Amino acid sequence: MPDRPESTTPSEGLAFPTVARLELDDLLDQLIDRATEVKLTQGRLRGLLDAVHHITAGHELDDLVARIVENARGLVRARYAALGIVRDGRLIRFVHIGMDAGTVARIGALPQGKGVLGELIEHPQPLRLDDLSTHPSAVGFPADHPPMRSFLGVPLLASGTVYGNLYVTESEHDGGFGADDEQLLTALAGAAGIAVENALLLDAERRRARWQAASAQLASSLLAGDLPPSDELEHLLETAVDVARAHGAAITEVRDADPTTAHVAAAAGHLAHWAGRTAEVGGSITRTALDAEGPVLVADATTDPRTTGVVERAPEVRSVLAVPLDASASGSRSVLVLTRTEDDEVFGPVEAEMLLSFAAHATTAIELGRGRRDREAVRALEDREQLVLSLSEQVLQRVQRVGLALTAAASGAEPALRDQLLAQVAELDDVTRAVRDTVFPR
């Protein structure tokens, strides 16, 4: 039998020139790369949208900053992420993720807004570095700090105000963080800035409401007379420590008779042992508050000469807030001082505003309470005087009747007895005159 021809396929015999085939392969490879890139970009954009939705889902500041750093780390695939909240150019809160508890404990104190972090606070604009240690502002890491090379930081902006900076370090990509990472993190920071602004506004309103409620309750208690006068200032301070979440509080008094010395009239919290102590007034926070006639804020007591005396007595103190008191004893002026430690948030404008109002309401209530007690004391004295007058009249009338009876009895008595009775009558007359002179002075 003749051999059958071998079967053929449709592509058999189809061929391209070598150059054309290479160009087609390149185009296919480019198409696949572009498709992969588009897919990756879409995935990262979806990640950005999910992150924005996630961080704007709540209003509590502490929960919000935790969500921001978690989503930032996942969005740009970083090993570490952190968020610093800034107020008045100072780092007041710093939240981070990526390091285990043991490492954090060994490192110790959190960053204070120096070095590269301080650079971002001073110049809030995106900063991307391949090697963090090469930046001119780098100050190095403390002992036991994990190595960090690649770095990306972007500001949290809202309504033209910088509310903080978002940081990520140690990119999981080869080559560190890229321009796409910067754009994604900047977009995330934009949404985060608005969320933080809203959370801070809500937090400020809640603080104001807490201060107002405490002020009303304290005024009611002081006006009701539930406390002895000696306990009023201490109760005021205890309320202030509680509502301000402060480390301690004290009222310092400067008497006109000795204007160079401040006397601690009352103290509470961790400063309770200050009560009764004295200190020099010159250049102190007390003198500053009295001269300013308004709130005085000290963010770092360790570097401010006005709070040197405070730190000498309480080295743990970092933030100090002082306001003058409207009501003081005659011949003196007083200042209410609150303190916080380095572990607490620095006092801010909200606390200054509310403490001034709180102090004014409280001292007004104390003055009204004193005035009411004085009026009650005057009424009691008047009632007592009226009672004395009434009793005096009754007693004098009875003494006079006794004298008349003795005089009548003496007229019919023997001479010796008569003389004795008349002597007793004379003594009764002397007592009557003495009582009249005492009760009814001329």
Per DSSP, the residues of 293-336 read TS-EEES-TTS-GGGHHHHHH-TTEEEEEEEEES---TTEEEEE
Q: Distance between CA 259 and CA 331 in Å, rounded?
A: 10
In-domain check, residue 139: yes
Structure-token match 């919290």, residue found: 269
In this structure, are 106 and 180 located in the same domain?
yes
Which one, of 332, 259, 336, lies nearest residue 295 by Cα? 336
Partnered with residue 279 across adjacent β-strands are 262
In this structure, what token pair is assigned to residue 108? 């110790």
Domain of 111: which CATH number?
3.30.450.40
Output the pLDDT for position 239. Answer: 92
Q: Give the domain-ending residue among 201, 235, 262.
A: 201
Output the pLDDT for position 54. Answer: 59
In this structure, are 246 and 364 located in the same domain?
yes
The crossing angle, in degrees rounded to 10, of helices 415-439 and 349-411 is 160
Q: Give the domain-ending residue among 149, 174, 201.
A: 201
In-domain check, residue 8: no
Q: Distance between CA 197 and CA 157 in Å, rounded?
A: 9
Mark 201-222 as b/e (b = at least 16 C-beta within 10 Å): eeebeebeeebeebbeebbebb
Which one, of 180, 24, 152, lies nearest residue 83 by Cα? 152
Using CA of residue 79, residue 85, residue 86, residue 91, what is the dihedral sign?
negative
Sheet holding 90-97, edge to edge: 90-97, 78-87, 161-171, 151-158, 127-129
Output the pLDDT for position 413. Answer: 75
Residue 84's Cβ-count burial label (10 Å; 0-12, 13-18, 19+) is: buried
Question: Which uninterrupted H or E stretch holds 153?
Answer: strand 151-158
In this structure, are 334 and 188 located in the same domain?
no
In this structure, are 189 and 118 located in the same domain?
yes
Helix, strand, coil distribution of the chain in percent, nearest 5: 55, 20, 25
Output the pLDDT for position 24. Answer: 57
In this structure, what token pair is assigned to residue 310? 């405070």
**Quick check: pTM over 0.75?**
no
Output the pLDDT for position 72. Answer: 84
In-domain check, residue 10: no
In this structure, are 77 and 57 located in the same domain?
yes
In this structure, are 330 and 231 located in the same domain?
yes
In this structure, are 235 and 349 located in the same domain?
yes
The count of structural domains within the chain is 3
In-domain check, residue 258: yes
Mark 123-152 as b/e (b = at least 16 C-beta within 10 Å): ebebbbbeebeeeeeeeeeeeeeeebebbb
Per DSSP, the residues of 35-82 read HHHHHHHHHHHHHHHHHHHHHTS---HHHHHHHHHHHHHHHHTEEEEE
In this structure, are 104 and 142 located in the same domain?
yes
Range of the domain at 234: 209-372
In this structure, are 185 and 215 located in the same domain?
no
Q: What is the pLDDT along the chain (442 residues), one digit of tens a residue?
A: 455 555 555 545 545 555 555 665 566 556 665 655 545 555 555 655 565 555 655 567 777 888 888 888 888 889 999 888 887 767 778 888 888 777 777 776 666 666 777 777 778 889 888 888 777 776 666 666 777 888 898 988 888 888 888 999 998 888 888 888 888 888 888 888 888 888 888 888 888 999 999 888 888 888 777 777 778 888 889 999 999 999 999 999 998 888 888 999 999 999 999 998 988 887 789 999 988 888 999 988 999 999 998 999 999 999 999 999 875 556 788 899 999 998 888 888 889 999 988 888 888 877 776 666 666 666 766 666 676 666 667 777 777 777 777 777 777 777 777 778 778 878 877 777 776 676 666 5
Using CA of residue 161, residue 164, residue 169, residue 173, what is the dihedral sign?
negative
Output the pLDDT for position 11. Answer: 46
In-domain check, residue 224: yes
In this structure, are 319 and 222 located in the same domain?
yes
Using CA of residue 195, residue 168, residue 128, residue 136, what is the dihedral sign?
positive
Residue 66's Cβ-count burial label (10 Å; 0-12, 13-18, 19+) is: middle
Q: Give the domain-ending residue among 349, 372, 395.
A: 372
Quote the longest CA-to-CA distance of the chain.
193
In this structure, are 165 and 299 located in the same domain?
no
In-domain check, residue 13: no
Q: Which amino acid is at 370?
A: R
In-domain check, residue 36: no
Output the pLDDT for position 116. Answer: 76
In this structure, are 422 and 327 located in the same domain?
no
Q: Distance between CA 264 and CA 24 in Å, rounded?
A: 89
In-domain check, residue 18: no
